[in-house]
Amino acid sequence: MIIALDGPAASGKGTLAKRIADHFGFHHLDTGLLYRAIARDVRAIDGSLDNVDDTSKAARNLDQSTLDDPTLRHPGLGNAASVVAQVPSVRAILLEFQLKFASQAPGAVLDGRDIGTIVCPEADVKLFIVADTKVRAERRFLELEKRGEAVTREQILETITERDKRDMERADSPMKPAADALLLDTTKLGIDETFDAAIELIKRKIGQPGAQRY
């Protein structure tokens, strides 16, 4: 069983994906971390984020045991990751890893930008998580403020907008909902409400009895 969760920056899909995976006892992969890790590794060798050789080498040498490195969540790396993510050979190298991850029993939840369209087009359930840009920026701001990061609301809004644009407009695997994705708008929903709504959508999709209309 594969559950694909896609959506723009700071839409809350990472937190949601982890909760869904825990709920069903499935494996979870935040695929954004792969691109973030490559950006980190390219920077570490003073490489260039849009250079095919530098980025492909970092993708081939990616040490999966470093994916829990907390610095990967740093806001600056999100933007750098979206530059790296434009390189087709990087995407091709990461695709193999993601496919292997997705095939694990009893199931896997993957979140990213192209899971429902490119990585797992045969996923059993595809959710595309959206929320008003200002609301996403505010949530991300509060999260970073809590972690003691020196950022402003304006900076966050600007980076998120720029990143979404780059992710939507790139030639290879742009961010978009799969034709059969279920849209979940979390603009007015809290974390628990979002989780409940997602579980309802999943139950309905896989035809479990007792699912209510959301």
Q: Is 31 in the site for ligand C5P (CB under 6 A)?
A: yes
161 burial (CB, 10 Å; 0-12 / 13-18 / 19+) is: middle
Rank residues 11 and 26 by Cβ distance to ligand C5P and give the closer one: 11
In the complex, least distance from residue 151 CB atom to ligand C5P, rounded to whole angstroms: 15
Smaller CB separation from ligand C5P, 31 or 55 = 31
According to CB under 6 A, which one of 35, 101, 128, 141 is a site residue for ligand C5P? 35
Question: Are 17 and 32 in contact, with CB atoms under 8 Å apart?
Answer: no
- As measured in angstroms, the least distance from the Cβ of 80 to ligand C5P is 9
Least distance (Å) between residue 82 CB and ligand C5P = 3
Q: Residue 130 has which token pair?
A: 């959206």
User: Rounded to whole angstroms, how far apart are CA atoms 2 and 208?
Assistant: 16
Q: Which of 2, 5, 9, 184 binds ligand C5P (CB under 6 A)?
A: 9
Q: Is the dihedral of CA 177, 183, 186, 187 positive or negative?
A: positive
Strand bridging mode 2-6 / 27-30:
unpaired
- Mask 185-204, x = binds ligand C5P (CB under 6 A)? --------------------
Task: Select from 167, 182, 198, 199 the one that contacts ligand C5P (CB under 6 A).
Answer: 167
In the stretch 50-89, what mask flags binding to ligand C5P with x, by CB under 6 A? ----------------------------x--xx--x----
Residues 82-121 that bind ligand C5P (CB under 6 A): 82, 85, 112-115
Residue type present at position 34: L
Helix/strand/coil (H, E, C) string of 113-169? CCHHHHHCCCCCEEEEEECCHHHHHHHHHHHHHHCCCCCCHHHHHHHHHHHHHHHHH
Residue 40: strand, helix, or coil: helix
Binding site for ligand C5P (CB under 6 A): 9, 31-32, 35-36, 78, 81-82, 85, 112-115, 163, 167
